[in-house]
Structure 1
Amino acid sequence: MMYDQTRAQQPAGQTGSTAERRTPGPEPLLPLSDRDKIALRLGHALNTFTDTPRESLEEAEGAYDEAAAQLVGALAERRRTLRAAWEDQDSTTPSDELRHALRQYREITRRLLQL
């Protein structure tokens, strides 16, 4: 049986995405269920390496490719949402609203640089 660290860190009575949204810090780029599926694939690859090394490497590569593709998709969606929030604003838009968009760009870019 696998130990689920995410659940262990959640307050009692909270499970799934509700608890994930209540945790401090930035919103995760990928949903918890997608991250769990990829982690399971990678874990399976690691656990079966001794018996089937080539197949394990192929499975690990597939997990990597899936994570990268989902991350690219999530980043593209985040960019689209951010741009839509300020792109159609006119020149009289309060600078506070534009500053908020700038902070969001800064936060996501910093997170990318830390990967």
Structure 2
Amino acid sequence: MMYDRTRAQQPAGQARGPAERRTPGPEPLLPSDEQDKIVQRLRHALNTFADTPLEALEEAESAYDEATAQLVNALAERRRLLRAGWQARDLETQSDGLRLALRQYREITQRLLHI
């Protein structure tokens, strides 16, 4: 039986290939399947521009409108969940929970400012 040194050095449950690796970071604002659909529409617009420029531009505008609407909805839902989490608490005894909510608001706002 052959010994695989690289496999032995990886912790259990860690992704093995580059396509499976995930970098730790904030949760995406939109699900990846929704992002993929919008990106595909933009690619289609770019690819068809030479033949039908006006239709391609309309497709790009529609993809933009869809992305912004989904983003607004996702942000509103995230705000609703955050607010529900800290509003229901006894403000005097739950400072750790409030601190966590404040960090989450800060992180989301900073991400928006860096778009």
1:83 to partner: Cα distance? 0.3
Confirm whether residue 75 of structure 1 aligns to residue 75 of structure 2. Answer: yes
Distance 2:18 2:53 in 1: 40
State the distance in 1 between where 2:81 and 2:44 align.
Answer: 35
Count residues in correspondence.
101
CA RMSD of aligned residues (A): 1.8
Matching residue of 2:107:
107
Per the alignment, in what secondary structure is the counterpart of residue 92 of structure 1? coil
Question: Which residue does the alignment assign to 1:51?
Answer: 51
Q: How far off its partner does 1:13 sit?
A: 9.0
Residue 53 (structure 1) shift: 0.2
* Aligned equivalent of 1:61: 61
Q: Which amino acid aligns with 1:67?
A: A
Aligned residue identity for 1:12: G
Please report the TM-score for the alignment, with normalisation by the length of structure 2. Answer: 0.81
Give the gaps of 5 or more residues in structure 2. 1-14
Compare CA radii of gyration and give the structure with the larger one: 2
| Shift in Å, 1:90 | 1.5
TM-score by length of 1: 0.81
After superposition, residues 3-22 of structure 1 pair within 5 angstroms as: 12=17, 22=22
> In 2, Cα distance between the equivalents of 1:11 and 1:50?
42
Structure 1 or 2: more helix by fraction: 1
Identity among equivalent pairs (%)? 67
* CA distance in 2 between partners of 1:13 and 1:112 (Å): 28
Runs of at least 4 residues of structure 1 off by over 2 A?
10-15, 91-94
Q: Does 1:86 align with 2:86?
A: yes
